[in-house]
A and B are shown apart, each in its own frame.
Chain A
Amino acid sequence: MTATPLLQAEHLVKEFPVSGTGGLLSRGDTFRAVDDVSLTVAAGETVALVGESGSGKSTTARLVARLLDPTSGTVRFDGQDVTGLTGRDLHAFRSEVQVVFQDPFSSLNPRHTVERIVTAPLTYQGRKPPGGSRAFTQSLMERVGLDPEQWQRHPAQFSGGQAQRIGIARALAVGPRLVVCDEAVSALDVSVQAQIINLLRMLQAEEGFSYLFIAHDLAVVRQIATRVAVMSGGRIVEEGPRDRVFGDSRHEYTRTLLAAVPRIRPEWEARRRARAAERAAADPVPTDATASVRRGA
C-alpha cells in the first residue's frame, strides 16, 4: 500500500476477566475476545468485519473506535498512534471516528429531542453547531431523509428505521472520516434495512468517508462492502476484496459460513426479475432517484 491507510489496527488483543472459577474458561482468569487482529481501512472504502456471535467482531469495532482499550496492540488513525489518547486529543479523535449502533432506541436518549441528540457530539467537544443548533439539526435531518420539521420530537415518536436515521445523523454531525457501523441494520425489517443500506451508500458517495461495517449477515455485507474480513474465535481467518472472498474463499470457515446462508433459488429470482423488468418497461414511472433513496419512500 502506497498511501497511509486511514485506519491501521495492528496486533490488537483484548482480554476480559472471567468471573467465577471452573468450567471451560478456568485455564486462566481472562478470556481473549480479540486475539492478534490487524486490519486496515483506506479512505473512502467499506471494510466489513463478519463473523458469528462470539467471534470478536464487535469487540474489535469497539477497540478501533476507542470505546474500549486494547490489552495490547495499536490503533493508528491517519498515521498517528491514537491508542493512548486521552482528554482533548481523544475528543479530537472522536470528531474523526463515529459509531452507529445496532439498536437505535437503546443508543438514543429517550428524554432528549432530536436536536439535542444530534448536536450532542459537538456539545461534548465544546464546539458550536455551525449556523445555529436548529438549522444545523434540520439540515442533518434532511440529509438522512427525516422530516426537518420534527426536530423537537423524541426517539419514541419515530419508527425503528427513522430512529436509526437519527443515529446516523448524530454520527455525521462531527463530519467524521470513519463511521463504524456495529450491526447497524441488523434489527431492521427487510424493507427498512434496504433503505438504510441505500442511505449509507449514498452518504458515503457524497462525503467520501470510510465505513467499518460489522455484521453477521453476509447478504447485507455483499451489498455494501469493498473488502471483507472474516472473524472466528477472536482472529481474522480470511481477508480480501469482497468478490474474491465471496466468490473464491480460501478458508474453510468462510466456505462453511457462506454455504449456511439461506438462499432463494436463483432460477426463481431470475424469472421474477425478468417479469419485473417487463412490467417496468410497460409502465415506466419516472422518479427522482436521489430523493427517493434519501427518504426511503
Chain B
Amino acid sequence: MTSTNGDPMQASFLEVRDLTVSFPTATGCVDVVSHLDLDLEPGGALGIVGESGSGKSLTSLAIMGLLPDKATRSGTVRLEGEDLTAMPESRLRRIRGDRIAMIFQDPLSSLNPYYTVGAQIEEAYRSHRRGVTRRQARRVAVEAMDRVHIKDAAQRIDHYPHQFSGGMRQRVMIAMALTTEPELLIADEPTTALDVTVQAQILALLQEIRRDTGTALVLITHDLAVVSEVTDHIVVMRAGECVERGPVESIFSDPQHPYTQALLDAVPRIDDEIGDLRSLTTTGGRP
C-alpha cells in the first residue's frame, strides 16, 4: 500500500489501514466508515473533510478506541508501528491523553462545571504522570494556560468554566491537551461553535502549537476553507468512504473526483458572488 505522502518506504507516524466501523440496525449491519486508509507523518497536519453523515467524526473516535459499545471496528490503527486496536485497554488509556490528545466541538460539555479549570487541567496531567505533586501539576497547568494565551493564567486558573467565553473554554481544552506534550492532536470541529473572529484566533493557536512543538494534527471539519488554511494533506469523505485524498494544493486547485469538485463549487466565497446557479447544484442526491 502506498503512503499518501508519496514515499511508500517511509513508515508513517499514524497509519490507519482498512478501517471499517459498523453499527447494527434492524435490517443488518451498516458500515458508517468503510475501508479507510490514513497516513500522517510526524508533525504533519491531515484534514478530514466531509458533510454530515460522512463518517469523519466516527473515524476519529475509532482511532482513539472510543467508539460506542454497539459499534464494531475492524482494520488497524498504528502509531509509530504499534497497533492501537490490538492492545489492552489499560495500555491504550495511557496512550490516550498522553501521546494522543483530542479536542471537541463543544468545550462546555467536556468541562465539569463544578471544578475550576485549573483543577481539571491538573487532574488530566496527573492522571498521566504518576507521582507528580499538586504543586508541580499546578505549575504545568499555569504554563499550559500561558501557552494558549489565556491572560493572567495564575489567577484565571481558579475560575470555573462558566466564567470563560466559548473561545476561552476551547483554549482551556487545548491547554489541557498540551500538558502531556502529545505527539498527535485530534481536533474534531474545534471551531464550529465559535464566532468567526474567535475561530481565527483558535486556528492561529493550533498552527502556532504545531510550529513550536512539532505536534501532528488531525483536523476534522465540514469547513473546506478552514482545512485549506490549516492542513497540508486532505482526505475527502462521503458516506463513510474516502473519495479523494492528496496534498492540500492539489485537492483545492485540481480536484479529480466529481464529488470533491461539486463540494468546492458549493462553497460560498467571500470575495465573489457565484453567478452560475448550475455550478452550485451538481452534487446530486436529494438533500
Contact = CB atoms under 8 A, between A and B. Distances in A.
Interface of A: 52-53, 159-162, 188-195, 197-198, 201-202, 216-220, 222-223, 246, 256-269, 271-272, 275-276, 287, 289, 292-293, 295-297
Contacts of B224: 190, 264
Contacts of B203: 262
A272 B262 CA distance: 11
Nearest to B223: A262
B196 A257 contact: yes
Given A194-B280, A292-B281, A263 B286 contact: no
B82 interface: no
A268 B253 contact: yes
Nearest to A164: B287
A160 B286 CA distance: 10
A159 B53 CA distance: 12
A269 B269 contact: yes
Contact of A197 (B264, B270, B280): B280
Interface residues of B, number: 44
Given A52-B197, A159-B286, A191-B266, A262 B229 contact: yes
Interface in B266-281: 266-274, 277-281
B228 interface: yes
Given A246-B271, A260-B196, A272-B253, 15 more contacts: A190-B222, A192-B51, A192-B287, A194-B265, A194-B281, A195-B280, A223-B268, A262-B199, A262-B223, A264-B224, A267-B253, A269-B253, A271-B253, A289-B277, A296-B286
B254 interface: yes
A289 B279 CA distance: 10
B277 A260 contact: no
Contacts of A197: 268, 280
B200 interface: yes
Nearest to B49: A190
Where chain A touches its partner, the secondary structure class is helix
Given A261-B196, A272-B253, A201 B277 contact: yes
A264 B264 CA distance: 10
B132 interface: no
B52 interface: yes
Nearest to B252: A268
B284 interface: yes
Give the top 10 A-B pairs by smallest Cβ distance, nearest first.
Answer: A161-B287, A192-B287, A260-B200, A262-B225, A194-B266, A194-B280, A189-B51, A52-B195, A191-B283, A271-B253
A260 B197 contact: yes
Nearest to B272: A222
B5 interface: no
Contacts of B263: 190-191
A251 B253 CA distance: 33
A16 B266 CA distance: 39
A266 B271 contact: yes
B273 A222 contact: yes
B268 A268 contact: no
A256 B199 CA distance: 12
A189 B254 contact: no
Nearest to A223: B268
Contact of A293 (B228, B273, B278): B278
- Greatest chain B CB density within 10 A among A197, A257, A260, A267 is at A260
A256 B200 CA distance: 10
Nearest to A185: B268
Given A222-B273, A264-B267, A266-B271, A198 B281 contact: yes
B281 A261 contact: no
B261 A256 contact: no
A286 B252 CA distance: 26
Contacts of B253: 267-269, 271-272, 275
Given A216-B195, A264-B252, A223 B287 contact: no
A276 B261 contact: yes
Contacts of B48: none
